Chains A and B, each alone.
Chain A
Amino acid sequence: MRRTRWMAVALAGALVLAACGDDDDEGSGSDTTAAATTAAPDTTAGGADTTAAPDTTSAPDTTEAPDTAAFEVDTEACEDPDAATAPIEGDIKVGTSLPLSGGPAVLFAPYADGFKAFWEAYNAQGGVGGTQKVDYTIKDDQYTANLTKTAVDEMIDEGVQVFTGIIGSPNNAAVRDDLNALCYPQMFASTGANAWGDIESYPWTSGLLVPYSVESAAFHDFALTQKPEGGTAAIFYVNNEFGQAYVKSFKKVAEEEGLIEIVAEEKIDAADSGAPTAQMTNLVAADPDFILAIPLGAQCIAFMKELGNARAANAEFTPVVYQTATCANPIFFGGAGAGADGVFTSSNLLPEVYSTPNPASPGPKAYADALRAVKGDANPTNTAAAAGYLAAEFTAHVLEEAQKSDTGITRASVINAMRNINFQSSLTQPGYPAIMNAEDGFIGEVTQITQWSAAESIFKPVGDIISFEGETLYTD
């Protein structure tokens, strides 16, 4: 027993040593960004900002070289300023970390396909400026933050220069400090959280998607167009970061406007794969005018089936139902049968992208072709694939702009180009380019409400495009 005691003392001593001399004065690292509505995997539809940009043909972009006066990153703050400003010649190494396996993969595997599809087609046409191809790396992090860190560390060691399109709020958060300190671009974080707009603390990081707050606000406004006098609303949501973010945003908007009263909140556990019958019974009992549904993955199907059952059994139960854009996927809505009919959701993509697997217009067609080239049986109407494609397309544009700058492509010029972006993607509504500048850290503030038609098996746009451009809906 004596030895054990000595060991305990030694352990205590070691811990004391580890504790002492801590020179971390940075206030124990409370998160400096307003992370109120960080959310879970919103990667697909409804996400990306919708600037209309030329598609994969490397037609010269109409904007000029980035206006460096608008935003310029401070490379002196970097650990290695020379590395941050060193020119990148030859193939540009771009990396991302995505959930390829594990639970959430059901939602995101197509994102990886879309991402890949874009680069393959882009490289085939010569790459950036026709002169530099993109050597892309996709690593698997199973949507787990510590695996994202491992993946990013590995990619840094493998020489990746630019990170883009990483999915997930905790995942981006886990690597944000390192990437900003080491001055690596962390572009287009694919999550709807608001936290990615903090230019001051994290100049090297930016978001991509419509923040969840925008989606909530869009639904709120849309609901008022259906019932201008307002009414009652119920929320059904998965109780994780993703669901909570939506709920907070919606409650805030509802409170501010004061026209919609929330009368019921039903939660479901992320791992609960059964039909939410009990919750639906509660919703029917509350009899709301509107329902905001934020389930996760296959729960989308189960929820809409229950909805159909409830509507059939209760003639007076006729709420306006909105499903989160992450469910906005013909596979989910189609799989739910009659229950999905008339359910609303949103998207910022061109209707052709989500309504037909064989689009005709050039942008969507190029996307569909590219997607099938990497995966023959892929479904282009799966908006997750479109989101991945979009992230890559944005990245390519930024690289092109950086190439045109005085310094050519360097890590710093990439970030400068990104922060001064003004780009219209090939898959999004024309007239609403993605814009960022020194003040506006958000890229996606535009969306379009759509409605599913079970008879035709497609989403149809409803009403006008809703834009919150410039109004940073930072909920805290």
Chain B
Amino acid sequence: MILAFDTELFIQRLVDGLSKGSIYALLALALVVVFRGSGQLNFAQGEMALVTTYIGSTLTLAGWPVWLTVLACAVTGFVMGGAVERFLIRPMEAKSPFAVVVVAIGLFLGFNSISAAVWGVDARDFPSLFPNQPDDFFNLLGANVRWERVGIFFVLLGIGALLYLLFTRTKIGLAMRAVANTHESAQLVGIRVGRVLVFGWGLAAAIGAVAGCLIAPSAGLSLSMMFGLFIYGSAAATLGGLDSPLGAVVAGLALGLLDSMIIGYVDIIGGDLLLTVILGLILLVLLVKPSGLFGSTRVERV
């Protein structure tokens, strides 16, 4: 227990929380894009990002600069996401929502195992897009803020803003919303449903790929890198409202802050009970607001 309130420590924890939250928010954004664009959840999102990050690792080992690698990963992710939607998810969707879930689970397992088969089960290093040496930080009101974390935060804001513009200002964004609602109505209005779906999944996978490249430098690239984070991302997406990019960002950052504050100030809840407590809090919020903080409530027509 802290007797005197240590402001510096508090700010440090704030900074820690925002940096953790940025990652959660990025993953949440990817899930929101998929949901908003197709009404589905991509359960294999984390593992797809894992594969693209491993591909990135190979590229960087071959000498590619990091920024180019991240770009390449994003493109690869886009193609993968689109292909998965077109060839594996869409045929199933018409037949049974359960089948979609199992296909996603199969993909989850498959992608993780492919990573094991091609790159082995070891953990490895991954270079960072931003300066990443131990002394690459600056001081802010007594807290030490790492450039890498700041970079990730701004990437998050950038992607969040772009998505917001996409959804509200562009035709394709509107089309995505229509498609997510009902395919038939969208088709009637002349929307090429197939293209929109592919785009949605591809975009989400691209975001996931970028997230993977940002996570790997500090977490270490290994087969288990994405699973826990994916759960956090899902929790954040749900808390924020599954169809709201703003919600994803806010919720993701909030979860990161909660993490940091709980570990810092609530001794009884250790790092191991963190997810439990967080999910419990989210549950309470949902009971009050069943579609999440910023989600749109669906009106049920009788």
Q: Could you tell me which A residues sit within 8 Å of B by CB distance?
A: 101, 103, 105-106, 109, 238-239, 265-279, 281-282, 285, 297-302, 305-306, 308-309, 311-314, 331-332, 334-339
Q: Do A273 and B264 have beta carbons less than 8 Å apart?
A: no
**Listed residue (A273, A276, A331) with the most chain B CB atoms within 10 angstroms of its CB:** A273
Considering the chains assembled together, what is the distance between the CA atoms of A263 and B229 in angstroms?
A: 30
The contact sample of 27 A-B pairs, CB cut-off 8 A, is A103-B224, A106-B123, A106-B222, A238-B272, A266-B271, A268-B271, A269-B271, A273-B219, A273-B228, A274-B23, A275-B219, A277-B16, A277-B20, A278-B20, A278-B260, A279-B271, A282-B263, A297-B222, A302-B219, A305-B218, A314-B144, A335-B124, A335-B125, A336-B125, A337-B133, A337-B134, A339-B134
Instruction: Identify which of A270, A271, A297 contacts B123 (C-beta below 8 A).
Output: A297
Query: B227 in the interface, Cβ–Cβ < 8 Å?
Result: yes
Query: B223 in the interface, Cβ–Cβ < 8 Å?
Result: yes
Instruction: Identify which of A238, A272, A337 contacts B228 (C-beta below 8 A).
Output: A272
Q: Do B135 and A312 have beta carbons less than 8 Å apart?
A: yes
Nearest B residue to A99, CB-CB: B121
Q: Do B270 and A267 have beta carbons less than 8 Å apart?
A: yes
Query: In the complex, which range does the number of interface residues on chain B fall in?
Result: 35 or more
Min CB distance B166 to A, Å, is: 28
Also in contact, A239 and B272, with CB within 8 A (given A105-B121, A274-B20, A278-B16): yes
**Chain A hits for B271, CB < 8 A:** 239, 266-269, 272, 276, 278-279
Q: Could you tell me which B residues sit within 8 Å of A by CB distance?
A: 6, 9, 12-13, 16-17, 19-20, 23, 113, 116, 120-125, 133-135, 137, 144, 146, 215, 218-229, 231, 259-260, 263-264, 270-275
Min CB distance B290 to A, Å, is: 28
Q: Do A267 and B219 have beta carbons less than 8 Å apart?
A: no
**Chain B hits for A272, CB < 8 A:** 228, 271, 274-275
Instruction: Identify which of B125, B137, B226 contacts A312 (C-beta below 8 A).
Output: B137
Min CB distance B9 to A, Å, is: 6
Considering the chains assembled together, what is the distance between the CA atoms of A299 and B146 in angstroms?
A: 20
Q: Do A298 and B220 have beta carbons less than 8 Å apart?
A: yes
Q: A335-B125, A338-B133 are known; give 6 further A-B pairs, CB within 8 A.
A: A109-B120, A268-B272, A273-B226, A275-B218, A281-B13, A301-B219
**Chain B hits for A306, CB < 8 A:** 218
Considering the chains assembled together, what is the distance between the CA atoms of A265 and B134 in angstroms?
A: 24
**Chain A hits for B13, CB < 8 A:** 278, 281
**Chain A hits for B133, CB < 8 A:** 312, 337-338
Nearest B residue to A280, CB-CB: B16
Q: Do B12 and A297 have beta carbons less than 8 Å apart?
A: no
Considering the chains assembled together, what is the distance between the CA atoms of A107 and B20 in angstroms?
A: 26
Min CB distance A64 to B, Å, is: 43
Instruction: Identify which of A109, A279, A300, A313 contacts B144 (C-beta below 8 A).
Output: A313
Nearest A residue to B146, CB-CB: A309
**Chain A hits for B123, CB < 8 A:** 106, 297-298, 300-301, 331-332, 335
**Chain A hits for B218, CB < 8 A:** 274-275, 302, 305-306
Q: Do B9 and A278 have beta carbons less than 8 Å apart?
A: no
**Chain A hits for B144, CB < 8 A:** 309, 313-314
Nearest A residue to B13, CB-CB: A281
**Chain B hits for A278, CB < 8 A:** 13, 16-17, 20, 259-260, 263-264, 271
Considering the chains assembled together, what is the distance between the CA atoms of A3 and B245 in angstroms?
A: 52
Considering the chains assembled together, what is the distance between the CA atoms of A306 and B137 in angstroms?
A: 13
Considering the chains assembled together, what is the distance between the CA atoms of A282 and B12 in angstroms?
A: 10
**Chain A hits for B273, CB < 8 A:** 269
**Chain B hits for A298, CB < 8 A:** 123, 219-222, 224-225
Min CB distance B54 to A, Å, is: 13
Also in contact, A285 and B9, with CB within 8 A (given A274-B215, A335-B123, A335-B124): yes
Instruction: Identify which of B113, B219, B227 contacts A271 (C-beta below 8 A).
Output: B227
Nearest B residue to A267, CB-CB: B270
**Chain A hits for B259, CB < 8 A:** 278
Also in contact, A273 and B134, with CB within 8 A (given A268-B271, A278-B264, A331-B123): no
Min CB distance A275 to B, Å, is: 4
